[in-house]
């Protein structure tokens, strides 16, 4: 737009552009900020008190391996049954919140409604939840979309979250390192074993970008962790390409409340 104005040399156009810019500035100041979940006016930036109260931030005690919250503290270093019975390829997973109503609203808004303005706040919460992982990390890798899905959504929500965490932590995002080499079904509605076979072999590290993760400690970034099958498939691909370690940081994780904590 600025280039248009400059090249046209029309004083009228320049004036109109300047006026539009000024009007936008006034609007930015005059409009109250809205809660990123329910769109009610809110003081500052983020979620309103009601939505904040409904978000379930994950705090200790949790499984040091999978990040699954424990109902009671089993003592330092004790793993969940899931981590012992079916250890994933990744070293550790952490999530900012449980995947429930408000979390789902935020994830869907980011994913399907182009609400990229949500990414900085979600990334901030993720950076806090993943402090331990980020403290040891060399590089962030977002879970890639298949290009067709990426095209229809226009951008990758995991990429947006990874960029927000990059800004928070200073740890760089390795772009286009991990690729989805075959289309996968939506994981929603699939059983645990179907999820695993759906994503098995679906990811590959791009050979010309492999040096960006070789010998490095990677934090894989995604929006939601359900069974962990996608994260596990990505971690396998990264480790095969000789990443030193892979941890997983997500915005929200599904927590099966019916299972005993340990």
What secondary structure, in 3-state letters, does 17-47 show? HHHHHHHHHHHHHHCCCECCCCCCECCCCCC
Q: Which of 5, 17, 34, 35 binds Zn ion (CB under 5 A)?
A: 35
Q: How far is CA 179 from CA 38, 84, 202, 250, in A?
A: 34, 29, 8, 18
* Minimum CB–partner distance for residue 99 and Zn ion (Å): 18
Nearer to Zn ion, 96 or 233 (CB): 96
Is 37 among the residues that bind Zn ion (CB under 5 A)? yes
Residue 161 engages Zn ion in binding (rule: CB under 5 A): no
Nearer of residues 35 and 81 to Zn ion, judged by Cβ: 35
Determine the interface stretch with Zn ion among 16-24, 28-36, 175-183, 249-257 (rule: CB under 5 A): 28-36
Q: What are phi and psi of 242, to 5 degrees?
A: 75, 35
C-beta of 36: minimal distance to Zn ion in Å? Answer: 8
Please tell me whether residue 106 binds Zn ion under the rule CB under 5 A: no
3-state secondary structure of 205: strand
Q: Which residues contact 9 (CB under 8 A, 6 or more apart)?
A: none
Write out the H or E segment, with its range, that includes residue 260: none
- What are the angstrom distances between the C-alpha of 238 and each of 10, 109, 115, 220, 233? 54, 29, 29, 9, 9
Q: Which of 48, 118, 165, 190 binds Zn ion (CB under 5 A)?
A: 48
CA 129 from chain center: how many Å?
12
Is 177 a binder of Zn ion (CB under 5 A)?
Answer: no
Taking CB under 5 A as the binding criterion, the range among 5-13, 43-51, 57-65, 135-143 that sits at the site for Zn ion is: 43-51
By beta-carbon proximity to Zn ion, the closer residue of 50 and 71 is 50
Least distance CB 125 / Zn ion (angstroms): 15
User: Does residue 34 belong to the site contacting Zn ion (CB under 5 A)?
Assistant: no
Task: Kindly state whether residue 121 participates in binding Zn ion, applying the rule CB under 5 A.
Answer: no
Kindly state the smallest distance separating residue 207's Cβ from Zn ion, in Å. Answer: 46
- Contact between 248 and 225 under an 8 Å Cβ cutoff? The reply is yes
C-alpha closest to that of 223 among 195, 193, 250, 194: 250
CB of 71 to Zn ion, least distance (A): 28
Cβ-in-10-Å burial (0-12, 13-18, 19+) of 213 comes to buried
Residue 53's contacts (CB-CB under 8 Å, 6 or more residues apart) are none
- The C-alpha atoms of residue 65 and residue 83 are separated, in whole angstroms, by 7
Q: From 50-58, 154-162, 194-202, 231-239, give the range in contact with Zn ion by CB under 5 A.
A: 50-58
37/243 with CB nearer Zn ion: 37
Under the binding rule (CB under 5 A), the answer on residue 178 touching Zn ion is no
Question: In the set 38, 79, 139, 196, which binds Zn ion (CB under 5 A)?
Answer: 38
Positions touching Zn ion (CB under 5 A) are: 35, 37-38, 48, 51
């Amino acid at each position: 737009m600025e280039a248009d104005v400059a090249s046209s040399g029309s004083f009228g156009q320049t004036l109109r552009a300047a006026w539009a810019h000024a009007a936008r500035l006034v609007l930015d100041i005059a409009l109250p900020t809205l809660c990123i979940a329910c769109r009610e006016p809110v003081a500052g930036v983020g979620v309103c008190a009601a939505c904040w109260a409904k978000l379930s931030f994950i705090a200790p005690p949790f499984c040091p391996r999978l990040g699954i919250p424990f109902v009671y503290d089993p003592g330092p270093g004790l793993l969940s049954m899931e981590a012992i019975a079916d250890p994933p390829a990744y070293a550790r997973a952490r999530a900012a919140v449980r995947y429930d109503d408000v979390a789902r609203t935020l994830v869907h808004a980011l994913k399907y409604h182009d609400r990229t303005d949500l990414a900085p706040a979600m990334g901030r919460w993720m950076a806090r939840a993943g402090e331990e992982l980020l403290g040891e990390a060399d590089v962030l890798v977002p879970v890639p979309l298949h290009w067709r899905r990426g095209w229809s959504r226009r951008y990758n929500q995991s990429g947006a979250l990874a960029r927000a965490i990059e800004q928070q932590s200073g740890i760089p995002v390795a772009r286009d390192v991990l690729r989805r080499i075959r289309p996968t079904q939506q994981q929603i509605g699939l059983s645990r074993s179907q999820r695993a076979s759906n994503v098995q072999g679906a990811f590959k590290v791009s050979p010309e970008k492999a040096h960006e993760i070789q010998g490095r400690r990677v934090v894989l970034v995604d929006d939601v962790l359900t069974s962990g099958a996608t994260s596990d498939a990505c971690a396998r691909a990264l480790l095969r390409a000789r990443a030193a370690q892979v941890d997983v940081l997500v915005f929200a994780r599904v927590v099966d409340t019916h299972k005993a904590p340990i």
